[in-house]
Amino acid sequence: MKSIKLITYFLAIVVLSSCQKDDQKINFTFLQLNDVYEIAPIQGGQFGGMARVATVHKELLQENKNTMLFMAGDFLNPSLLGTLKVDGERIRGAQMVNVMNAMNFDLAAFGNHEFDISQQDLQKRLNESTFPWVSANVKLKTAEAAIPFYKEINGKKENVHETFVKEFTDEDGTKIKVGFISVCIPSNPKEYVEYGNMFVKARASYAALKDSVDIVFGLTHVKIANDKRIAKLIPEIPLIMGGHEHTNMRIETENGVITKADANAKTVYIHRVSFDKKTKKATIVSELKEINASIKTDEKVGAVVNKWQNILNTQIKEVIQNPEEIIYATEIPLDGRDFSVRGEQSNLGSTITKAMYFAYNEKVDGVIVNGGSIRIDDQLVGNITPVDIFRVLPFGGAIVKVKIKGRLLKRVLDYGELAAGTGAYLQRHHIEKVGEKWLIQNKELNTTKIYTIAFSDYLLKGFDIPFLSEENKEVLGVYHPKENELAFDIRKAVVEYLKTQK
């Protein structure tokens, strides 16, 4: 009887040990976000919200402890909240880092909008972040050389690396090292930033990483055409998690896939990966998940979001009453994405310029606003509130009425046309180009005539168009609106105009 018990005991050990044997296969999960500027739900609370994403993240961690949370660039700017001040200092993305810290992000890539803010502000955000950053092609310019960006914590510098490695272990003991490469589009030149060639750096970082890990993935912030080229240059990468376009997409490549979620966490991508160490092959099942009101708010992250939203609500009520009032509804998205407002006549640009026309009782010959004033880099759809408009035009400013010589007006319009792709591109109303001719109110521009044009006051400061300022002799008069006039704040003008369009 004793011998039977011993045999049973040893059999149990054998069975148990065989169950725990490394099967050389492992499963892990990636949760991908990109282009997130708003920490709270948008579109009347219907979509987005980082506290909802936090709930999804926790659910995935319960499903598989080997889960990573990623940001594929663009999160520090632009936002209305970022323009406000706390203790005399502009927020400049501090709210986003605070929320991402609370969510326990695993890795963040640089996006072009991270460089909208000053070097000093970016350094503060890096120092405040508890998550790692990665980039192969952006470096910090110094007087001596270009060096890696870094965090400075308790007087110690910790460099941002060109690659990132994560090790996973599952319950049966299978271990795997997963590598990540990252590059950023060089579309925001700044004196303190050096951009390396993104294709050269992508290949070089992959080559430096591939022999020390089991598999490599991409975490990029570039145009989809660039992602496709990277996928072709490095066919061994089975998944590139990208950003920049703001609309969700899943593009199959020869050997893998490229994915991008919608901006502002309207959607996220969930990638469930199964990797076989013997074959070195990964099977990836990707799910585009909508972040909506059906998802509960994570209590911890929700408290952080509410802290910042209270700051926003307190400060914005000093400027406009009823900031959450529904002033307009649209099923057709109003396009405020950078590539639209800085390169073509956008329907959001048209709405803004019509509002400027409205602010002067339609008694001007035409309207011009620089595309760079439109900072939301997103589309508005559904119910629209004053807060949405303030997000579109966070810097505000007056609408000025300018008497301008036709010759100078033509120079301004030509300059704006040639500046397509930059903030100096002009959104217009009652001004259009047909062939090689400019038309004002459907009549050919007369270079000797004096026109009355409504401008954003920023344009008259000469930053975007160097020769356009009040000092120019062909600017014959400028009317600056008084504080009690609708034209005093372009944001209020757009709000009141939209109310008339309901």
Give the DSSP per-residue string, 179-206. EEE--B---S--TTEEEPPHHHHHHHHH
pLDDT attached to residue 2 = 46
Q: What per-residue confidence (pLDDT) applies to 69?
A: 98
Cα gap 473→490, rounded to integer Å: 26
Residue 178 to residues 130, 211, 239, 342, 450: CA-CA distances in angstroms? 21, 11, 12, 38, 65
End-to-end Cα separation, the chain, in angstroms: 88
Read off the pTM.
Answer: 0.85
Q: Which of these, 492, 459, 463, 491, lies nearest to 366 by C-alpha position? A: 459
The tens digit of pLDDT for each residue in 435-481 reads: 999 999 999 999 999 999 999 999 998 888 999 999 999 999 999 99
Q: What's the confidence (pLDDT) of residue 20?
A: 61
Segments of the chain assigned to CATH 3.60.21.10: 20-303
Instruction: Determine the residue type at 31.
Output: L
How would you classify the pairing of strands 107-109 and 133-134? Answer: parallel
User: CATH class for domain 320-500?
Assistant: alpha beta
* CATH 3.90.780.10-classified regions of the chain: 320-500
Output the pLDDT for position 203: 98
The burial of 437, by beta-carbon neighbours within 10 Å (0-12 exposed, 13-18 middle, 19 or more buried), is given as: exposed
In sequence order, what are the residues at sequence separation of 6 or more whose Cβ sits closer than 8 angstroms to the Cβ of residue 100? 50, 71, 75, 108, 129, 131
**Ranges of residues in the chain whose predicted pLDDT is under 50:** 1-3, 5-18
Per CATH, the homologous superfamily of domain 20-303 is Metallo-dependent phosphatases (3.60.21.10)
Please write the tens of the pLDDT for every residue from 371-409: 999 988 888 989 999 999 999 998 899 999 999 999 999
Specify the pLDDT at position 18.
46
What is the pLDDT, as a whole number, of residue 272? 98
So what's the pLDDT on residue 319? 79
